[in-house]
Structure 1
Amino acid sequence: MSLKLPAPTDDPTSPGDPTAPGDPTSPDDPTAPGHVPAASAAPAPRGGGKGRLRALDGLRLVAALMVAIYHLAFRGSGAWRGQPLEIFPHLSHAAAYGPLGVQFFFIISGFVICMSGWGRSVKAFAISRISRLYPAYWAALILVTVVLFVLGYKTVSRTDLLTNFTMLQTPAGSERVLGVSWTLWAEMRFYVLFAVTVLWRGATRKRVLAFCALWTIGALYADSSGQEFLKLALMPEYAPFFIGGIGLYLLRRFGHDLLTWGVVATGFLLGQHYAVLGLVPKPGVAVTFHRSPTVVIALVAAGFAAIAAVTLVRRVADVDWRWLTTAGALTYPFYLVHEILGTLVIEKLKAHTGIPDYGVLALAIGSMLLLAYLIYRLVERPLTPILRRALTHQANRLSEPRPASTG
């Protein structure tokens, strides 16, 4: 028995995919529930404002829903037993632009990683990222594997499954269990670049601006050089979004200035280029649906504008609706499980019920949000601090001087 899912690909037109990009609800991030800012945490924006950015959590869920609706209402033809463009003639046209949710994740990630890494050592930063990303990822990986096995669907080989537990299956060339996990590989490359070029000496405004400039130049060179390793390391198609998010954080921390706005503007201008390049097929290429370059550019602009609003406009940044933080906490596990398990829900509901198609879609998304909540409460909340303490203890032991040999 084989589940009719589209083959996962790194092509941004079909993101198997936020990091879960970003993760401003991380327990060690300033927007996390119950977070107590450290002395080195970023100050509020000039002119006041609170440290918690609940509205940014809400945007993360919006980005995840964009990707989910794309996967379930545009690509999921096997589960619907028909073409989504015919089943959802209006929704599918909007859902076709859902892959841009990944780019929105990357903008948010640039902002949040710069914010949460400020004042931290590379060791502390690495521990925070590992303890944040792995518990929910492992839970989703095990859950999806068990469900597919129990229902008799084809799964990956044993060796590929074991490789998936490292979260390094993409660079290792192994088949992915969670199609969306390719974006986690993009996130990891960003973390490494930021850690080894900024955090190892300590984040400062000048150092971060230099990082943004050098990464932009390096990414453009990599794209034009034809050297695959440079493209892999510097990610020219995604770098502008991470860099734009970093620029927005600098504006929030240090206030407005022409140079930093130039970083954000460059991120948008290059980002829309790569978004159009990835989402709009070249003339003469046969496709079932043609995306409009104008719409892609407008949506990228809207994404940058929305993230700028919730981080820089005081009245929006100060929104204190607690449910937004809960919504943000669901984003990562929802993002991990929605594609495969959501498709299964649709397939079973279509086969065994007479629920209208829009109702089936709503139930699929709703059930995935409920599952995400359970993963968050039963896995992430208890295991993340345990893993962080264990990693911190081990790192501290490694840094202790060894006793002198008496031999």
Structure 2
Amino acid sequence: MGPSTDTIFPTAHKLAQYGWLGVEIFFLISGFVICMSVWGRAVGEFAVSRVSRLFPAYWAGIVLTALVVKMWPEITPLHGWDTVITNLTMLQGGNNTPNVDPVYWTLFVELKFYLIMVVAMLCGVTYRNCLLLCGVWTAAAALAPALKTPLLTAFAMPQYAPFFIAGIAFYLMRRHRPNAILWAIVALQLLLAQRYIDYRLATNLGKAAVDALPSWPARVIIVAGFALVGAIALGLFDRIQWKWLTTAGALTYPLYVIHMNIGMTLIHHYRNRIPAPVLVAAVTALMLVAAWLIHRLIERPLGKWLRTTMRRGIDDVRQYVTPRRRHARRTPPQTPTTHHMTNGHCRTP
């Protein structure tokens, strides 16, 4: 087995134990970004933007991860090619199909958030409706554990709702201006986010971690995440124009969909041949290069093709469906008699 990670990297190990909180911060940022994305858009336009953004790199990540795991089933086995095919839909979380990579569970959570925002779009994305969404979702997430209704729990997502909702409130601050109501929503979500820290510790590190690790670092990281997004909402970073941030932002998603199973497999496979610091640095560099290649060779061209193709499909729907509905509303009902007599004169209705 070799030495444990806390022996090889005593300092880094203490920090890495709380790395799972990156998911929570991602959900917080997602609430901000997706609320911005749906504002003033039709449902079709939102669907095009999300599909073309998520699926190209995701498909590449699935294929690459499946090949590596199939070649070196040292960390986890490949649960059959039917599992891989189902994963291509990104809906495997809804039918108990194993994820090709464990991190993919977060994408199904994102899809449920998108569905919630689509409902909001159908009702109209306005300041008032977004506030109503924050209130209704908060109530549903708070009641779901007690009601024990599977459908409500599945879509209210009590563990992660505080981050999405706070992100929405932060965007309302950015779009309009901060006020007491929005700050109250953020403060309430920050408090509610503390409720599931032990649950998340146990999910990621095992039940023993709840007693072995202090929870205060996790709470500090969550507060720091809220402060960061709050600073963005208030415009404190508007003057920062670092060009490398654009590239870094473009690589985060491709890196995310390939990093875990592939990275762990490579480290496990070469752990006795290459010194640990060199191996970790090499695997990290390799993952960054792979993410850049996926972005340039797959994500950008395939995303562009998907956008073009889906927009044509939406145009077809608008062309062949919408005019008929309008015509149906404007056509008066047919009657057997087209003229009526009024005081001895002919009147056309």
- Report the counterpart of residue 111 of structure 1 in structure 2: 32
2:59 is aligned, of 115, 133, 138, to: 138
Q: Is the 8 A contact 2:174 2:235 kept in 1?
A: no
Computed over aligned residues only, the root mean square deviation of the Cα atoms, in angstroms, reads 2.0
Letter matched to residue 279 of structure 2: V
- Report the counterpart of residue 200 of structure 2 in structure 1: 278
- 1:290-309 residue pairs with structure 2 within 5 A? 290-309=212-231
User: Is the helix fraction higher in 1 or 2?
Assistant: 2
Deviations for 1:159-218, whole angstroms, at most 9, x for unmatched residues? Answer: 21111110111111111112110000100000101111x211331111101100100001
Instruction: For 1:220 and 1:289, locate their aligned partners in 2 and report how far apart those are by CA, in whole Å.
Output: 25
- Report the counterpart of residue 226 of structure 1 in structure 2: 148
Quote the sequence identity (%). Answer: 38
Tell me if 1:209 matches 2:128. no
Instruction: For 2:256 and 2:146, locate their aligned partners in 1 and report how far apart those are by CA, in whole Å.
Output: 33
Deviation (angstroms), 1:145: 1.3
- 1:187-266 residue pairs with structure 2 within 5 A? 187-196=110-119, 198-266=120-188
- Report the counterpart of residue 331 of structure 2 in structure 1: none
Tell me if 1:97 matches 2:4. no
Tell me if 1:360 matches 2:279. yes
- 1:7-406 residue pairs with structure 2 within 5 A? 81-151=2-72, 154-196=77-119, 198-279=120-201, 286-287=208-209, 290-314=212-236, 316-353=237-274, 355=275, 357-401=276-320
TM-score by length of 1: 0.74
Local SS of the residue matching 2:213? coil
Q: Is the 8 A contact 2:141 2:156 kept in 1?
A: yes
Instruction: For 1:378 and 1:331, locate their aligned partners in 2 and report how far apart those are by CA, in whole Å.
Output: 16
Deviation (angstroms), 1:289: 7.3
Local SS of the residue matching 2:194? helix
TM-score by length of 2: 0.86
Instruction: For 1:360 and 1:151, locate their aligned partners in 2 and report how far apart those are by CA, in whole Å.
Output: 17
Deviations for 1:283-332, whole angstroms, at most 9, x for unmatched residues? Answer: xx644972212222111101111121233233x23310010110011000
Instruction: For 2:62 and 2:178, locate their aligned partners in 1 and report how far apart those are by CA, in whole Å.
Output: 43
Q: Is the 8 A contact 2:250 2:295 kept in 1?
A: yes
Deviations for 1:349-393, whole angstroms, at most 9, x for unmatched residues? Answer: 32333x3x2222222222111111111111111111110110111
Q: Is the 8 A contact 2:87 2:99 kept in 1?
A: yes
Deviations for 1:205-257, whole angstroms, at most 9, x for unmatched residues? Answer: 11101100100001111122122221111101100000011111111110111
Which is greater in Rg?
A: 2
Letter matched to residue 389 of structure 1: T
Instruction: For 1:327 and 1:228, locate their aligned partners in 2 and report how far apart those are by CA, in whole Å.
Output: 38
Q: Which runs of 5+ in 1 are unaligned?
A: 1-77
Instruction: For 1:97 and 1:151, locate their aligned partners in 2 and report how far apart those are by CA, in whole Å.
Output: 28
